[in-house]
């Protein structure tokens, strides 16, 4: 083999690409997933990735004497929302034809995130706690289990959006003089969002409602140091995240456990997660990386071993 390894991770906030055979190259970025009437515009994303690949100094990773150093040996395309696409085989065809790698892998970002967090292609589980929340566990053989990730209206328990929503509910209970309200959160949320009468429109009718709710989460985590209502909400978030992680890992033999996402920087959330794991006799290891790192590790695994375990919903190899 003569060409580079290429990792691509497509998320809502952007498309990221990295090349590498030895030392990884710089992370290159483009706009994230665009959704139209027909769903995610995969051809547009492939076009963006092709432009980034053309701009990368891929030849620096190729050994001397390579006859076609710019053509990737292995390209791993990690994609948010892959599970919900009706025709994953079409995604594979579009990526393979558009980027021209010798071997192409299309993988859910849940799988790439697990590999990146644990640093290995082996049994494990990870929970990701950002604006949304989802857990995933697999033995890369028979068990492939996703937990939650249903969005802030139906699920995403423990996420920043859900925590923000709970904080606003507690604030409004204080506004209405009901039990279990938080005057502290009412004051903080009013400073951030304006009068409560405008909150329903902001968090229910705008396209960026999850992000607006997630922006409230720091108010809750900061208030937890002196407001028992806010502390209880943070504890619930951490506990929910731990429960999702444990369920994702259920049935796996000696799984590596990890947790990722910005919400875990909040001490009360992380402490509750750790406490719940300890109750169940489990512990997590520090996350080593993210989905882009996992995609590159998967590319190396395929290059070095010649195979990757496939799954029709989570991991396709071409």
Q: Give a yes or no: residue 30 inside a domain.
A: yes
Number of domains the chain is built from: 2
- Are residues 262 and 299 both part of a single domain? no
pTM of the model: 0.86
- Are residues 198 and 247 both part of a single domain? yes
- Are residues 105 and 188 both part of a single domain? no
Question: Residue 4: what pLDDT?
Answer: 86
- Are residues 197 and 245 both part of a single domain? yes
The answer to whether the beta carbons of residues 271 and 236 sit under 8 Å apart is: no
Rounded CA-CA distance 274/279 in Å is 9
- Are residues 257 and 301 both part of a single domain? no
Q: Give a yes or no: residue 138 inside a domain.
A: no
Give me the domain span that covers residue 301: 5-119+289-317
Q: Give a yes or no: residue 114 inside a domain.
A: yes
**Distance spanning both ends of the chain, measured CA to CA:** 16
- Are residues 275 and 296 both part of a single domain? no
Question: Residue 38: what pLDDT?
Answer: 56
Question: Residue 3: what pLDDT?
Answer: 79
| pLDDT tens-place values along the chain, 318 residues long | 467 899 999 876 688 898 886 677 788 888 765 655 556 788 888 888 888 888 775 445 444 444 444 688 899 999 877 766 667 888 889 999 998 889 999 999 899 999 999 999 999 999 999 888 999 999 999 999 999 988 888 999 999 999 999 999 999 999 999 999 999 999 999 999 999 999 998 888 788 888 899 999 999 999 999 999 999 999 999 999 999 999 999 999 999 999 999 999 999 999 999 999 999 999 999 999 999 999 999 999 999 998 899 898 889 898
- Are residues 262 and 154 both part of a single domain? yes
Rounded CA-CA distance 35/38 in Å is 8
- Are residues 156 and 265 both part of a single domain? yes
Q: Give a yes or no: residue 131 inside a domain.
A: no
Residue 232 belongs to domain with CATH number:
3.30.420.40
Q: Which of 222, 203, 207 is closest to 263 using CA atoms?
A: 222
- Are residues 94 and 14 both part of a single domain? yes
């Amino acid at each position: 083999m003569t060409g580079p390894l290429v990792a691509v991770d497509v998320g809502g906030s952007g498309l990221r690409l990295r090349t590498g055979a030895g030392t990884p190259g710089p992370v290159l970025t483009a706009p994230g997933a665009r959704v139209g009437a027909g769903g995610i515009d995969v051809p547009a994303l492939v076009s963006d990735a092709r432009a980034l690949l053309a701009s990368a100094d891929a030849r620096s990773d190729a050994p001397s004497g390579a006859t076609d150093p710019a053509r990737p040996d292995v390209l791993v395309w990690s994609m948010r929302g892959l599970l919900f696409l009706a025709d994953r085989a079409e995604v594979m065809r579009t990526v393979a034809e558009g980027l021209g790698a010798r071997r192409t892998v299309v993988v859910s970002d849940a799988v790439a995130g697990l590999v990146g967090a644990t640093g290995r292609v082996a049994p494990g589980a990870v929970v990701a706690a950002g604006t949304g929340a989802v857990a995933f566990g697999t033995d890369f053989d028979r068990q492939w289990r996703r937990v939650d990730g249903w969005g802030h209206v139906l699920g995403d328990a423990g996420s920043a959006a859900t925590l923000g929503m709970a904080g606003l509910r507690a604030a409004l209970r204080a506004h209405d003089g009901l039990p279990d309200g938080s005057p502290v959160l009412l004051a903080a949320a009013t400073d951030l969002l304006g009068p409560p009468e405008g909150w329903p429109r902001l968090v229910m009718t705008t396209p960026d409602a999850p992000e607006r709710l997630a922006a409230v989460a720091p108010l809750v985590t900061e208030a937890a140091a002196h407001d028992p209502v806010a502390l209880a909400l943070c504890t619930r978030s951490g506990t929910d995240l731990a429960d999702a992680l444990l369920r994702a890992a259920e049935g796996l033999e000696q799984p590596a456990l990890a947790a990722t996402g910005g919400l875990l920087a909040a001490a009360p959330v992380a402490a509750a997660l750790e406490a719940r794991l300890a109750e169940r006799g489990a512990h997590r290891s520090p996350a080593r990386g993210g989905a882009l790192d996992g995609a590159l590790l998967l590319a190396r695994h395929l290059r070095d071993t010649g195979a990757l375990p496939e799954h029709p919903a989570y991991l396709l190899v071409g």
